[in-house]
Amino acid sequence: MDVPLSALFVLLVTNGVFGAIVCAVLLRLMAPTPLGTTRTILIGLGIAPFVVAWMLNILLAIVPGIPAPLVFMAMIGLAIALGWVAGNGWSLLLDHVRSWPGLVKDRSFWPFLFFLAAMVFGAQLMLRYKPLVDHDILEYGTQGLRFLTEMEVRYEKHHFDTATGFYYVGLHGFGFPLLFTWEGLLRGLFNDGGDAWVRSMTPFYATITVALLWSTVRRYDKWVAVWAAGAFTLTLGFLYLNTIYHVDPVRLFLFSASLLLFMMALDQPSWVVLVLWAILMGMHAFVHSLGMILAPFMIFTFLLFASTSWPFRLRQVAAVAMVFLIAGGAHYVLDVVWGTGWLMKDITWF
Amino acid sequence: MLVPLGSILFSLLYFLVWMPVKAEPGELALFERGIGSPLLKLLNGYLGSFFNLRFLGNTVIWSVPILIALFIRWRFLTPSLRGLLIFLSLAVIIIGGAGGFNYRYAMTLLPTLIGAVMIAFSRRMELDGLTTRRRHFVLIALALATVVNSKLAMDLAGRMALHDPIDRARVIDDEPFYTKFDTGPEDLDGWLSSAGIGPADRVLVNNLPVYFYETDRPGLYYWCGADQYFGPEGERPIFRGRTDDEVIHHLIKELDTRYIFSDLDLSRYDVRFEQFLADHCRLIAQDEKGHTLHALPDTFGH
């Protein structure tokens, strides 16, 4: 199974170009915080595809039937605006990229590189030999292609396709299905279709999740980071995380990143940290219900343990809740009010 | 070195003593999720974030004593550690209570807990005055204990498959592992056409969304495990409250469906559905991966 060039184009545009733009923006904003360059870049790479999906959700919900060229123009406009906001973040990004060759002198980097190489090897085997066959992602994919056909996102009681009889049973935010829509839109430019790019997102997010764990523990001790990455990647669950096409690696990454920012917010609740924390929680909710369920508990814990004065803390929590809703949490409010009812109904577990 | 040895000992107990290799009749779903007994429901379900060793490895079990130790030392903790401790405890309760039936949810905390275990052990050994070399030796042994655990997990999966009449064939064939990644039907649309299904024929699809992803044919999405199909107004039962003859009438006359697409594995999730296929339907196609296509009897009973 060959990977078509149009899928590589989606990878280049979304993860490469847009990923770099989001990284540059975050580097500029997060520079004064203790997050550090590596983790900022990983978070930027992780949220970039979902900034695209988030924008797509808004466009397809507000302008049903929107022509594809208008979607592209909106995306290009968003990219240009963010690229301009990035300012000196670009030079910080370039400086960091230039420092990568120096890492090879660090002996503790080699075992980690070995884990990464093993993952890349496994990923290419899987992408070549495994089409989209796993149950849940086929449902996400079918719904995503329905969004593409209709160019519309609706909040309705039953996601039922009268033409085919398909019923979308998913209760989560539309973030993941919209990746299929995005791939379909971009590959449509080449009169092509398929899902190779979305499939590649499973090993991509599994890899950056390991990298996030490694870079976080590395701040404590660079060798302990290697063994932590080893203990994680050598589990059978991680093997499945890498080889079963699913939303799980995305979920794990966004949750782990939001937990990291939650810790930072408790230590140093600057506004940029709070906003990025809220965005990560929102993005997590945008891809999965668990993000919506856990976020209020995380925010409540912040309310209890933050070190700022109570009036200021309440203002911070209100702002975090607002950004969280805008970044993805609002999906569930809409879904409860106008849509499926989310968890406020009898659920059949598959 | 007691910690890595403890990990391995716990894994041996878990895989060789506690985990069953064969499902009890009618309990396939619980068995596959590893929650088929009260003990397993506690370990792999409610406390799955710590003890679902099949998928999470055996390093994460040590986060339990570490979390307890942190609670004991509560007044010495920084606000951020207190917040993390409270939130992690809440997350374990929420995930275990609501999603413990599914190992994928238990994995949510895995990177965080493994990072915490490694840092906590390293810090403890540092405070105990162990040399850097010895500290790293213990942590490497801990990571390697995960390999032993994963080997035991794969061994268990193999033994479970050997006891399963459908999975057995897949396990004992000698083809390279990567050729088994593709479990989907080959050219589904062509397969359906060659079986005589017209492009406008509606097919009852038993939990195989690949039908809707790969074809534009009309279908009726159904899951036998819960006996419900999904129509424009949501879920409705097919078998519940109906005799087999009434089910046939309901499918043909009211749901306009004469064909059933399933696979050997999924059909087992409901004994009555499986029996209905055997007793009342004609198998018109089956591929080498176990996908099945049945036809309901027509007016003349064929």
Rounded CA gap, A250 and A224, in Å?
A: 25
Q: Which residue of B has its CA nearest to A293?
A: B94
Q: Which residues contact A161 (CB under 8 A, 6 or more apart)?
A: A146, A167, B212
From B183's Cα to the closest Cα of chain A, the distance in A is 6
Which residues in chain B land under pLDDT 70?
Answer: 25-26, 99-100, 299-302
- What pTM did the predictor assign? 0.95
* Contact status, residue B212 vs residue B221, Cβ threshold 8 Å: yes
Burial class (CB in 10 A: 0-12, 13-18, 19+), A220: middle
Percentage of the residues of chain A whose pLDDT score is greater than 90:
86
Predicted pLDDT of residue A265:
96
Inter-chain touch A129–B213, beta carbons under 8 Å:
no
| Cross-chain residue pair B94–A293, CB shorter than 8 Å | yes
Calpha distance A218→A215 (Å, rounded): 5
* pLDDT per residue as tens digits for the range B116-152: 999 999 999 999 999 999 999 999 999 999 999 999 9
Chain B CB contacts of A194 below 8 Å = none
Contact B218 A142 (CB under 8 A): no
Indicate left, alpha or beta for B57 from its phi (over 0: left) and psi (-120 to 50: alpha): left
- A132 with B112: Cβ contact below 8 A: no
Quote the CA–CA distance of A301 and A295 in Å, as a whole number. Answer: 10
Q: Compute the distance between CA of residue B103 and CA of residue B52 in angstroms, rounded to an integer.
A: 7
- Please, how many CA atoms are within 13 Å of residue B273, restricted to the half-sphere of its CB? 29
Token pair listed for B225: 């495990």
Question: Can you tell me the distance from the alpha carbon of A160 to that of B231, in angstroms, rounded to the nearest whole number?
Answer: 7
**Is A166's CB within 8 Å of B118's CB?**
no
Residues 6 or more apart in contact with residue A262 via CB below 8 angstroms: A277, A298, A301, A302, B83, B84, B87
Which residue in B has a C-alpha nearest to residue A1's C-alpha?
A: B182
Which DSSP category does B250 fall into? Answer: I
Do residue B213 and residue A304 have CB atoms under 8 angstroms apart?
no
pLDDT, position A97: 94
Contact yes or no for A227 and B216 at CB 8 A: no
Distance from CA of A227 to the nearest CA of B (A): 6
B208, B254 Cβ separation under 8 angstroms: no
Residue-wise pLDDT for A58-110, tens only, equals: 999 999 999 999 999 999 999 999 999 999 999 999 999 999 888 889 999 99
CA distance A167 to chain B (A): 6
CB contact (8 A) between residue B82 and residue A243: no
Residue of B nearest to A136 (CA): B209
Nearest-angstrom CA–CA distance, A61 and A59: 6
Which residue of chain A has the CA closest to B228? Answer: A348
Q: ipTM of this complex > 0.90? A: yes
Q: Which pLDDT does position A194 carry in this prediction?
A: 93
> What pLDDT does B260 receive?
98
Compute the distance between CA of residue B240 and CA of residue B242 in angstroms, rounded to an integer.
6
Which candidate, B291, B268, B294, B263, places its Cα nearest to that of B281?
Answer: B294
A53 CB-contact burial (10 Å; exposed 0-12 / middle 13-18 / buried 19+): buried
Q: What is the pLDDT along chain A (350 residues), one digit of tens a residue?
A: 566 899 999 999 999 999 999 999 999 999 888 999 999 999 999 999 999 999 999 999 999 999 999 999 999 999 999 999 999 999 999 999 999 888 889 999 999 998 888 888 888 888 889 999 999 999 999 999 999 999 999 999 999 999 999 999 999 999 999 999 999 999 999 999 999 999 999 999 999 999 999 999 999 999 999 999 999 999 999 988 888 999 999 999 999 999 999 999 999 889 999 999 999 999 999 999 999 999 999 999 999 999 899 999 999 999 999 999 999 999 999 999 999 999 887 666 55
Residue spans of beta strands (DSSP E) within chain B: 203-206, 219-223, 228-231, 234-236, 259-263, 282-286, 291-295
> For an interface test with B, which of A167, A320, A347 has the most B Cβ atoms less than 10 Å from its Cβ?
A167
Contact list, B183 vs chain A (CB under 8 Å): 133
Angle ∠(A330,B233,B236) on CA atoms, nearest 5:
120
Query: Which residues of chain A lie closer than 8 angstroms to B56, CB-CB?
Result: 235, 237
